[in-house]
Structure 1
Amino acid sequence: MNILDKIVADKRQEVDLKKSLITLPQLEASVMMERTSVSLAEVLRKSNSGIIAEHKRRSPSKSVINQSLSIQDVAKGYTNAGACGISVLTDGKYFGGSLDDLVLARASTNIPILRKEFIIDEYQIIEAKAYGADVILLIAAILSKEEIKTLSELAKGLGLDVLLEVHNEEELEKSLMPSLDMLGVNNRNLKTFEVDLDISKSLSVKIPDDFVKVSESGISSVKAIRDLKAFGYKGFLIGENFMKTDNPGENAKKFIDELKK
């Protein structure tokens, strides 16, 4: 069983437990359900930096990245740095995140927030909206074509943007559908954790222009982003590069300023 299979098995149990604690009608009563989401796809289309900055405390590949910072400070720092959006990991067991992080980030910024999560159930999408997310992530490696369709259409119905993540051509081909806004190519092999930016480059030609192209993982230099822009990428998800420092917002600002030169 690889790490992705383990995460998904745990996530199924977690979602079943949550459903018994907080019902769908309770989620749907959240004031956030009335909030108009901000489209990350639209922000990325107009941006000249395209940075989606991530809040991540730890990961299965790196264990602890940064446990000491407050999510409010990080979210404000990323906003002041000029990030297009903020990615907030809400998985607890493997990444040290929580839905509280989503709520606190939402209270700290008006820019689009992506709920970074292993979504396998419609419940999690309503939960994302109820806790203040603007965007959800769907991972093609853990979902069938039918599940991608059902989940993405529900998200669109709630006014959320959908970022679908793929790792290879096979995942990309089963995933292309009108209910997606952005296609993310993860440069990290989730089974081995090795990173290779050529994955983004080789898949770029297969992604239709209707979708905003996002490159994820392993991006640590301005040069890498300039290279990827030549392949039509508009969004760049960066987590560890900022989070492993004492001041992610300040480092994101330096990075974005350099990129804009």
Structure 2
Amino acid sequence: MSFMPQRPAIAYASSEADGQFPDPEIPETTTPPVEDPAAEAEVDRGDVLARICARTRVDVEQRSQIMSLKEITTRAREVSTPTRGFGQALQHLTADRQVGLIAEIKKASPSAGILRPEYDPVGIARAYQAAGATCLSVLTEGSCFHGKTDDIRLVREACSLPILRKDFILDPWQVHESRLIGADCILLIMAALSESQASELIAIARGLDMDVLVEVHDEDELTRALALDTFMIGINNRNLKTLKTDIQTTIDLAPMVPPDRLVISESGIRTQSDLMRVGDIGASAVLVGESLLRQDDPGAAARKLLGF
């Protein structure tokens, strides 16, 4: 795909027809934030993904005792407010041979530590939308990213872009929760899931009218992902064990993705040159967080990345 400057993103209605959506009764995460996620990752150089997934399973188990799987399933199926079409927004850009920006909103990460001590997800979301982002990614994981499920509600009420819930989705309970908190798309990480687990979670998401971004890190994970019923493949340039990034991962894997799928290059995108580089080998969008959030003005950083 030859890179072209991106046009302003599609606008979606920001008002919601259902006064109880997003659902205000979803129990908040019970996982306390790690004071310095980067320091923890430095001290414990074990598998960061495994550590976060272990915490996530405990968190889901505790919260599902407050709201059972049966109850949360019923609530999710009763939501009448339509999703905003995360994949559709990216497809519109791809049809025009443009590379979209999925701009990420998070307070912290294991690789960077605290990114925004004064964290304002609403202000960041509005700045990204004004800058021309196509979609948003909101971190809701509590321990290493200091996220909250309520962050998606706040962002959804403040702007009109489609929202990816960026979290470690391992259980059907979390998929139903994602619909109830206002997500339009969920992330599934193949490094944390078997094919059968991923397939089950995708089926639930599709039944709730949510899109699914399946994330891979290597050729084996890509092969497994391509067997699933989803059209968006995220290629994460970050090694989840070392936390180092290298966009060569996208350059190596993107040509293996069939043309009927959308490729999203994640992590390690810092400049417009990086964006153009992955766009030229087939990426339909980039997912960028740290390089924008490290700046005083993330919106201005997003505009610069897009070439405005």
Q: Which residue of structure 1 aligns with residue 40 of structure 2?
A: none
Residues 168-183 of structure 1 aligned to structure 2 (within 5 Å): 168-183=218-233
1:76 Cα deviation from its structure 2 partner: 1.0
Q: Which residue of structure 1 aligns with residue 31 of structure 2?
A: none
Q: 1:32 to 1:221 in 2, by over 3 A?
A: farther
1:20 aligns with 2:57: no
1:105 Cα deviation from its structure 2 partner: 0.8
Residues 1-261 of structure 1 aligned to structure 2 (within 5 Å): 1-24=46-69, 25-26=71-72, 28-29=74-75, 33-47=79-93, 48-258=98-308
- CA contact 1:31–1:130 (8 Å) conserved in 2: no
* CA distance in structure 1 between the partners assigned to 2:194 and 2:131 by the alignment: 37
- CA contact 1:162–1:179 (8 Å) conserved in 2: no
Q: TM-score, normalised by structure 1?
A: 0.94
Q: Indicate the SS of the match to 2:214.
A: strand
- CA contact 1:32–1:130 (8 Å) conserved in 2: no
1:27 Cα deviation from its structure 2 partner: 6.4
- CA contact 1:149–1:177 (8 Å) conserved in 2: no
* CA distance in structure 2 between the partners assigned to 1:22 and 1:161 by the alignment: 24
Percent sequence identity over matched residues? Answer: 36
Q: Which sections of structure 2, spanning at least 5 residues, go unmatched?
A: 1-45
- Please provide the CA RMSD for this pair: 1.6
1:178 Cα deviation from its structure 2 partner: 5.0
- Count how many residue pairs are aligned between Structure 1 and Structure 2: 258
1:187 Cα deviation from its structure 2 partner: 0.3
Structure 2 counterpart of 1:3, one-letter code: V
State the structure with more CA Rg: 2
- CA contact 1:32–1:132 (8 Å) conserved in 2: no
1:251 Cα deviation from its structure 2 partner: 2.1
* CA distance in structure 1 between the partners assigned to 2:64 and 2:299 by the alignment: 35
1:149 Cα deviation from its structure 2 partner: 0.6
1:115 Cα deviation from its structure 2 partner: 0.1
Stretches (4+) displaced over 4 A? none
Q: 1:247 to 1:209 in 2, by over 3 A?
A: same
* CA distance in structure 1 between the partners assigned to 2:158 and 2:78 by the alignment: 15
1:33 Cα deviation from its structure 2 partner: 2.3
* Larger displacement relative to structure 2 (240-249 or 174-183): 174-183
Structure 2 counterpart of 1:113, one-letter code: I
Q: TM-score, normalised by structure 2?
A: 0.80
1:141 Cα deviation from its structure 2 partner: 0.1
Q: Indicate the SS of the match to 1:215.
A: strand
- CA contact 2:131–2:303 (8 Å) conserved in 1: yes
1:33-54: CA deviation from partner (whole Å, max 9, x where unpaired)? 2221122222112222410000
Q: Indicate the SS of the match to 2:212.
A: strand
